[in-house]
Each structure stands twice: as C-alpha cells, then as structure tokens.
Structure 1
C-alpha cells in the first residue's frame, strides 16, 4: 500500500519560538506539539493549521490508509535560509518515513514557498490551505493589530523594513535640519524609500545575506565599491554645478571627475574576487588580476586622451592613438596567451595517468 505523508509547513519556525524542535514525526510527537502550542499560542493561526493537519491524518488512518504525519519548520532567518533548513529537515523525514506521496497543509503565502521543495522530492496528492476566520469586533481587531506589530518589530525579515527604513528617514530629516538643507530632504527620502522597495521587491537583501554567508570578502568589497560610486556621483554633481560653460569638452571633464571612483570600485571588486580564488586555490585567479591591470591601463589612457584634448594638439593626439592601439594589441595578446596556458595546464592536470 502507498504510504502518504501529511506535512504541516512552518517555514518561519514559529514552533521553534515556543520550544518545539522539528521535524516532529508520528502521532504521539505531533499530539505533544499541539498541546504545547495550545498553552503557548492558543489564538495563533499556526495552532489551527496544526490541528487541521492532525485531523486529516486521523481521518485517513481511520479509513484504513497507510499514512504518517510530520511537522517541519524552516528558520527565523532569511527566506533563502528558511527554505534551506526546511529542505534539509524534509530529507531527514523522507529517509525515516519513506513515503510515496505527500499531503501538504499550510496557512500563509510564506509557507507556500516550501511546496516546490516538497514537490521536487515527492508527488503531492493534495494541498490544504487553512484560512482562519477573524472576528470583526473592535477588541479583536486591536489584538490582531498588536500581534502583527509585535511580529514586525521582533522578526528580522520584517523589522528591516518596518524599523530600518523609517529609522533612516528620521536620521536624514534630523541631519538635514541641522545642516539647514531641508530642501534636499524630500528627494533623498524618496530615493531611500525607492531603494528599499527595489531591494525588498527583487529579493536583493536575501541575495546579499546568502552572499555574506558564502563570501564575506565579496560583501565587504561590494560595500566599499558602492561607497566609492556614491562618492563619485557626488563629486561629478559638484563638478557639473561649477561649470561656467556647457560643451562636449566640459561635460567630458565631469565624466573624468567621476571616473577615478568608478575605476577604484572596479579594482576593489576584481581584487576581492581574486582573493577569493587565491583562498580557493583556483587557477583562474589570473582572470581577475588581468582585469585589474587592464582597468588601470585603460584609465591611464583615458586621462592622457583628456589632457591631449585640452591641449588640442594634433601631434600628441596621433601619438595617443598609436599608444592606444599598441596597448590594446598587447592586452589582447596577453589574454589569448594566458588562456592557452590555462587550457594546457588544465588538460595536463586532468589527463589520466
């Protein structure tokens, strides 16, 4: 007979906060978990969902089906971390229970992120989403509102938005008031809010958190590079407002005022990648070292070209074009040569002895 596993999903680890360690497997452990939840979170929707999952399990068992039940949680960390933890625990449950199908029970859109994880391991025979009806009375509304506010203040993934962004806005208002720059506060605040929406909407914060866990060096150099780019934009802005005439040459000078910061940001990023590859003993580290040298050389050439344009010298301009052509050919030649050496070394080391 097919063995069906009833899975209650708790992706944000609400059970862990009340002392229930998952995965919880089997009727006795599940009953104990429900009793703890009745004491600790009697009005929470998670308790209702746990009971629904348990009732589905008992009904199927009474019908003579081969069925087992489990409660599986993720973690309180980022969305990606929660899914990774859930995936690991699900694998442990599957090894112990050895089911052939699954019935999924959940109550929130956040929990629904675990469904594709389950589907990648087991055929899903059914999905039950539990929607708990809420009373509309004033008192119940305040209780519900208080619960959500507490969640927004205590859970990291919510507090970053509900506390972090308003905190930054208040800090900007206070700082600009002290500097008598309140006229600029509005646009800056709009940019902060837009940045927060972009970061949260595209999941950039989860990506950065995952990146930090895998490569702390890259996160540090990325922050340095971002600061450098912001400084470059500010420097370019001041160079632009100080222009007395507007033509192609003066606009080129504005770009030159930004360029050193862009070059520094690029060199820092390539350097961070090179350090990572050196630590990992990756032979392809030369790619990033080559990019650093190329960036510096190209920057030097652009600066020379700018000086020649200011002098308006045809002779010097021809020398610059000649130098630029030679440099480009040398860089391309070196890159091709290093690729050949890398492929030769890789083939020689990977060939069977």
Structure 2
C-alpha cells in the first residue's frame, strides 16, 4: 500500500515532443476533468501510441491517490522543434502549472528517453518524489507494422529534428552528386560525400545544431559573425592551397608565402568575432565592451608585426629588424597600460 502524501503533489505526464498538440490538445492540461477529456481525445486519435498509455497511467495513479492525498493531475508538453525550444516551452508550461496549483512536490510519468530530458528542468523548479516510466510491449501483425512504419516516416518528414538528418543530409549529397556529374568531376564525389556525412555526424553527435540554435536565440549577431568568420577561414585555406601550387622557390619562401596569403583571412575571422561581441555589449550597454576593442587592436598590431617579419624572411632577413622589435615593445606597453587603466576604472565604477 502506498504511503500517504502529506504535501500537495502534482502528478505530471511529460510529452516533450508535443504529440498532444498534433491531436488538438492544448497544454498545460490541469485538473481531473480536463485530463479526462484529453485522454478521451487521445483514445480516438492515438489509441495505439505510448503517449496515450502514459496518459492513462498518470490518470490511474491520480485516481488511486486522490481519495487520501492532496494531489492534482497535470499534462505538460514541449515543442515539435525539439532541443532548446522544447525545453523552454516545457519550462514555461511548468511555471504556469506551479502558479495555478502551487504544488510542493511532484510525481513524473513519461514513456521515452527523450521525455527524460525534462526531468532536470522540473527538478530545478519542483521537488520530485517519484518517477514512473511507461514501457508498452505490443505484438503487431504485418499490417500493424506497416502502420507503425508509416507513422515513423511521417515523423521523419514533418518533424524538423528528424527531417534535418534523414532528408536534409541525403538531399545535400544528391545535389552535390548532380553538380559533380554535370561538371564532369565525379571522381571527387566519394571523398566529398564522406565529408558531408562526417560533418553531419559531428554536428548531430556533439549537438552543434542545438548549440547554434541556442546562440541564435540568445545572440543573432554572434551567429551571423560566426558564419562570416567560418567563410573567411575557408577562403583563407583555399587561398593558401592555391598559393602553394603557384609559388616556386625555397621551402622557407614557399611556407612564408602561404602564411602571408592566409594571414589576412585568418585575422579577419578572429577580428569579426570580437567585433560582433563588442557590438552586442555596446547594444546592451555593457561596460566590458572595451575588452573586445582592446583585443581587436592587439590582433591588428600582431597582424602587421607578423606579416612584416614574414616579408623579411622572404627577403632573406632572418633576424627581426630593430624597427619591428621597437614596434612590438612600444605597442605591448601601450596595450598593457590601457588595460590596467581601464580595469581600475571598471572596478572603481562598479564598486
């Protein structure tokens, strides 16, 4: 027999990918009456789905406890977009639930590993005293298997988090293959296809797409400058390769020429990142904008000093000229002095 609960408890069914939204159920669902109506609707549209079974489990648990305990049943959902969008929406709905029924603790019911991602979010706002995962074992015939496959194919086509991988990546490969065959360079197709697949696996494996989405929502400026920085870096690498194919001379001359050709693009890649951060800080009136501006100045000075040294090497001068050494010393002292002065000013202003 289950121990009596002394504090108000919310029995929460989690649907992080918002399958309930597909059948017209608006979340959060709060209370026995609305939960019963939601289950009735789900029984009409998704009777074989694990989401329906989980809703029923949560409802039965509520009925079991309600006679002797202060409990309330709740259904909350995330978003079809998945990732950060789903987590933010679920967090928003949970706050709405807490505001309406003011529970002190919760029991969670869910059916998939994806739903389990919501547990830390709920735990940060509400004490969890119980977790029940619903595992539905079903024996399906051939026709039911085709229905199930059709359901997953629909998910692949309609849900962005699946379609990016199962449609987007093959689409890019087919497009590249078509272009390569038209240009008559099909011999390069295999390494390029492997590169695309490798990049897709890295992006999905390390959650780079979710990270970019998070950056975009938090800072559109940084995403834009990040893309420009990557483009500049790629152009620099191509430029360095083309330089290595055209420059003829000694090994040191060739290497220095390659670095000189790549250096402007590399410098721009770094500068634009700090410039984007400086712009973001300026728009939010953040005092630390001077940190980014100082870094930009240091990078520009470093570019001129390095490029000057490399040109000396190309001309056969393997020892830094006095002028370059003087410029390096003076610029370093100036930057250090400015940094110390601004640090003191910043500390004085915020204390």
Taking structure 2 as the reference length, the TM-score comes to 0.92
1:148 Cα deviation (Å)?
0.8
1:339 Cα deviation (Å)?
2.1
1:111 Cα deviation (Å)?
0.4
Note if contact 2:252-2:314 (Cα within 8 Å) is conserved in structure 1. Answer: no
Query: How far apart, in 1, do the equivalents of 2:286 and 2:129 lie?
Result: 46
Mapped pair 1:322 → 2:333: no
1:72 Cα deviation (Å)?
0.7
1:88 Cα deviation (Å)?
1.9
Mapped pair 1:125 → 2:129: yes
Where does structure 2 lack aligned partners over 5 or more consecutive residues?
1-5
Note if contact 1:18-1:37 (Cα within 8 Å) is conserved in structure 2. Answer: yes
Partner of residue 309, structure 1: 313
Secondary structure of residue in 1 paired with 2:125: coil
Mapped pair 1:276 → 2:280: yes
- CA deviations 1:64-121 (Å, max 9, x no partner) are 2332111011122241121121112112212322323321111111100111222223
Query: How far apart, in 1, do the equivalents of 2:102 and 2:334 lie?
Result: 62
Residue 345 (structure 2) aligned to one of 336, 341, 347: 341
| Count of residues in correspondence between the two structures | 346
Partner of residue 55, structure 1: 60
Q: CA RMSD in A?
A: 1.9
Taking structure 1 as the reference length, the TM-score comes to 0.92
1:10 Cα deviation (Å)?
0.6
Mapped pair 1:6 → 2:11: yes
Report the more deviating stretch, 28-37 or 244-253: 244-253
The alpha-carbon distance between structure 1 residues 246 and 59, as it changes in their structure 2 partners (threshold 3 A), is farther
Partner of residue 3, structure 2: none
After TM superposition, list the pairs within 5 Å mapping 1:1-353 onto structure 2: 1-62=6-67, 64-244=68-248, 247-313=251-317, 317-347=321-351
Report the more deviating stretch, 91-100 or 105-114: 91-100
Secondary structure of residue in 1 paired with 2:136: coil
Where does structure 1 lack aligned partners over 5 or more consecutive residues?
348-353
Query: How far apart, in 2, do the equivalents of 1:315 and 1:184 lie?
Result: 44
